[in-house]
Structure 1
């Protein structure tokens, strides 16, 4: 009977045989995929090669200009004032306007011409006016009157919008409700 047991193949460890087979298949697949990835990276030039570093005369460089100190301007460069031709100037004027007194509140209109009841965006800068409430005013019948819109200053800037149906040229400004500081005026044609 002992001779019969030695002639049969070993069936005592089928789980171990399966695990060994899985490890062998995983290693084979890993080697094939790794070799393929290496071949593709060499063809595409990914990862560099010894030839590129030793035989090449081209070197990658990064040029940084020298650091130069800048002088802060006395007024913000955010202001876009309309010029006489109706287009918006990209640079603030160094000369104060004869029409408008110097103000610490700077107001801009996003549009110079709109249709009746179309949106007019008002934005501006108010240095030192953090938290201030600004009342929008409109010039009518020779006097400035409150428009039913306000804006709050946050990070020294403010933004709001208005709508009006009054045709023709309209003038707007903002006033600080606490200390009566007045902005420059902006002109928008409604029509």
Structure 2
């Protein structure tokens, strides 16, 4: 008998590599066939649609053929939807006069605001406001006492239609303040400050 080993016994590493290669080829073929069958079943196509010009079933965009259009003859912008409802000359004049009166009244109006709505006794209360038509006017601060308005010892001048000052009082409770134009006698709205 011979002591010679069998051919597979001589090269075990080569035999293992051949077996691994055979398994990899079989697994690759199975995976490829599975993928091919899956794409057929699911309807997935590898075509991008640029080659054949055929429409695929998944298209969502439809572009119609361009058509030539005619230019409009009339104006491109409509300024008045219902020209029959335009105010007549008298109505327009009345509306313009009313608008002018409102503007003049707003210009003549003294508007007062308080910076604080609640303060302690002798704490600063900021009074600011507007008087568009009153540039240069002197405004007197007034406080409501005993049922009438009394002058508070503070005045302020109006500059460029605005004014600002402050007052301090020890009188507790709800106190109302307003501004009075010393020349014209016009009064502002009043503001209420709670003093504790």
TM range (shorter): 0.3 to 0.5
TM-score of the aligned structures, taking structure 1 as reference length: 0.46
Larger Rg: 2
Q: Which structure shows the higher helix fraction?
A: 2
TM-score of the aligned structures, taking structure 2 as reference length: 0.45
